[in-house]
Structure 1
Amino acid sequence: MDGTDDNDVIVVGSGVVGLTTAVLLAEGGRRVRVWAREAAERTTSAVAGALWWPYRIEPAAPVGIWSLQSLALYEELASRPEETGVRMVDGVQGDTRLDDLGPWAAEVTGLRPTTRDEFDGPGVWARVPLIDMPVYLGWLRERLARAGGTVQARSAESLDEPLAEARCVVNCSGIGARSLVPDLSVRAVRGQLVLVENPGVRTWFASAGPSGQTSTYFFPQPGRLVLGGTAQEDDWSLEPDPVVAKAIVERCAAVRPEIAGARVLDHRVGLRPVRPAVRIERELRPDGRVLVHNYGHGGAGVTVAWGCAREAARLADEAAAS
């Protein structure tokens, strides 16, 4: 005997994908430990604008399915916003045509082209989940604890380390997968945000810039308005750039002029774990141990979290049953 149990699972990574996967496994009867290199509040997930919308993520067909599965869960959670941090909020996805969206768009209730009064140009009006990530991540941890799961402050240099302690490991390491797997196709795409006092904005707005390096968005969250953003490829700096911050505020104020005078509360930077395609895959080791990968969600980890977690948990459970 090697001291491990077939019911034990270690989930590597404490961001939204890792915690969601851990919740489903624990509620399914597995004994789950999450290895957290850093507290959830310090992960990329905590910095996320956290609007439900498939963004910078492939492949399109399964992403649409995972997104809709997650949407159904968020719609339920939005009935308890103070507890879960999830709210349904109206807004505009600018410079977007309804016909250019994937098949998933036909399943989103109320999604429609904008009127000229709502946006001067092609746009889509939508009522979708907007998530207050600090509250939501805390709610996920509590749900995991109720199911018997635990979060441990542990880091690893190799996936062999958790595999030495559990017969099944689920790799939800996000940007860390680049070195941990290692998978050099995982690239950092830097996102910078500015948090300001909300001058009365109640709807969200998002529009990708023509270069792909910048975007314009503002999301009303409790106690703040989140302004963005950037998509700087292969930039690993976590230090806010004041020049970039000034440009973000100016772009947002061009859409809603009242933002120009809003008091700045904070600056945030996160690194999106972008990959050519999400990797959800089971890897069987020669000694019978199972490694399930669930990473590479780019800028849409929140959007697909529940759908991807369901797939990863299925792969882990099928391996345990075989």
Structure 2
Amino acid sequence: MAAGKRVVVVGAGVAGITTAVVLAETGVSVHVIAKEVPGVTSLAAGAMWGPYLVEPKNKVDQWGQRSLEIFRRLAEDPATGVRLASGIEASRTAEAPPDWATPLPGFRPCGPAELPAGFSAGYRFTMPLIDMPTYLDYLLRRLDAAGGTVERRRLASLADAGPATVLVNCTGLSAKALLPDPGLRPTRGQHVVVTNPGLTEFFSKDTGLSSDLLCFYPHGDTVVLGGTAIDGEGGLASDDTAAAAAASILARCAEVEPRLAAARVLEHRLGVRPTRATVRVEADRREDDAVVVHNYGHGGAGVTLSWGCAEEVRGLLPDK
């Protein structure tokens, strides 16, 4: 895309900010508009790299692998909030490992002594863990250094974004009403942040399609415990339901790692994942001849796919 053209990125979750960084660092004038900067759902993420119940598989594999390459480089700088960690994904049934895990460094089946009680299979590997508040701050600093600007404002429609050569739609679940896209649905997620009793490795249970997840991700002095994935639930209020879910999350994690039972709760994080049958990354020309490039519908894999999708958006920008 020719220098001097103005791109407006709508949305400031991990997809929006990463896309803005990729575009700004190629010399494009980038302006981000979002109600919340950074987005609440991205702040609530755990987060661990890993394609999580998301399609289409061929594109997800490409986007995920590209993101993995970049996260590995970012892990060399502690200021990014990214680090490489070893850990275990385990199952209560003799499940085969996910195909994305087998090429990862250090991949091997776990012996029985390595597995918590009640688990019959597991696999150890090394992958990126991302401390999302630190990481999103890093991305915003990087965007600022590249000349990108940020505006906090709620839009009633994409047309309210103002003049732009290209609009990039990274609005997540808000795209359901803004476009509209009836194929989007909310999936409520919840994590509990506690003091770290000395954990250095992650743990994740293969829960399939269950709404009750089991995982913990250590980030220095804290551990993020998960979680929930309640399909069709879009409420974020920290109500009695959220409190009950938090207690259940703590109990599930402490059963696997007893040291967590005495950890002090620091924070409850809630977000709503934008779930769609397939991730949407494509260009669209509207009736007013404006170009819109969509990048949304990542479900629980927004972090995992962020860099790959952002680079695909860059390739979809018009040449002139």
Task: State TM-score, norm by structure 1.
Answer: 0.92
Check whether the contact 1:91–1:205 (CA below 8 A) recurs between aligned residues: yes
Deviation at 1:221, TM superposition (A): 1.2
The answer for the alignment partner of 1:151 in structure 2 is 150
- Is contact 1:132-1:222 (8 Å) kept? no
Three-state SS of the structure 2 residue aligned to 1:236 is coil
Shift of 1:181: 1.3
3-state SS of paired residue (1:251):
helix
Partner SS state of residue 188, structure 2: strand
The one-character-per-residue Cα deviations of 1:13-67 (angstroms, maximum 9, x if unpaired) are 0011101100111111110000021120x52100100111111211112111111
Letter in 2 for 1:91: G
1:79-90 correspondence runs (5 A): 79-81=76-78, 83-90=79-86
Assess if the C-alpha contact under 8 Å between 2:94 and 2:120 holds in 1: no
In the alignment, structure 1 residue 49 sits paired with structure 2 residue 49: no
- CA distance in 1 between partners of 2:44 and 2:214 (Å): 16
| Matched residues, number | 311
The 8 Å contact of residues 169 and 292 in structure 2, kept in 1 or not, is answered as yes
Contact 2:10 2:16 in 1 (8 A): yes
Code of the aligned partner of 2:89? Q
Distance 1:204 1:24, change over 3 A: same
Q: What secondary structure, in the 3-state scheme, does the structure 2 residue paired with 1:188 have?
A: strand
Q: What are the residue-to-residue correspondences of 1:129-168 with 2, within 5 Å?
A: 129-162=128-161, 164-168=162-166
Check the 8 A contact 1:11/1:33 in 2, yes or no.
yes
Instruction: Report if aligned partners of 1:97, 1:113 keep a CA contact under 8 Å in 2.
Output: no
CA contact (8 A) 1:98 1:112 kept: no
Separation (CA, whole Å) in 2 of partners of 1:214 and 1:269: 14
Contact 1:75 1:129 in 2 (8 A): yes
**Structure 1 residue identity aligned to 2:63:** W
SS of residue matched to 1:117: helix
The amino acid of 1:234's aligned partner reads G
Partner of 2:252: 251
Aligned counterpart, 1:284? 285
Partner of 1:194 in structure 2? 192
CA distance in 1, matches of 2:113, 2:69: 30
1:61 aligned partner? 58
**Secondary structure of 2:113's match?**
coil
Instruction: Give me the TM-score of the superposition, normalised by structure 2.
Output: 0.92
Cα RMSD for the two superposed structures: 1.8
| SS of aligned partner of 1:128 | strand
**Which range moves more in the overlay, 187-196 or 286-295?**
286-295
- Give the SS at the match of 1:271: strand
CA shift at 1:211, angstroms? 5.5
Which of 214, 217, 223 does residue 216 from structure 1 map onto?
214
SS at match of 1:67: helix
Equivalence for 1:91: 87
Residue type of the partner of 1:113?
P
Q: Displacement of 1:210 after TM fit?
A: 5.8
The answer for unaligned runs of 5 or more in structure 2 is none
Instruction: Tell me the equivalent position of 2:13.
Output: 15
User: Is the alpha carbon distance of 1:69 and 1:105 closer, same or farther for their aligned partners in structure 2, counting shifts above 3 Å?
Assistant: same
Q: Which portions of structure 1, spanning 4 or more consecutive aligned residues, are displaced by more than 4 angstroms?
A: 96-100
Matched, 1:274 2:238: no
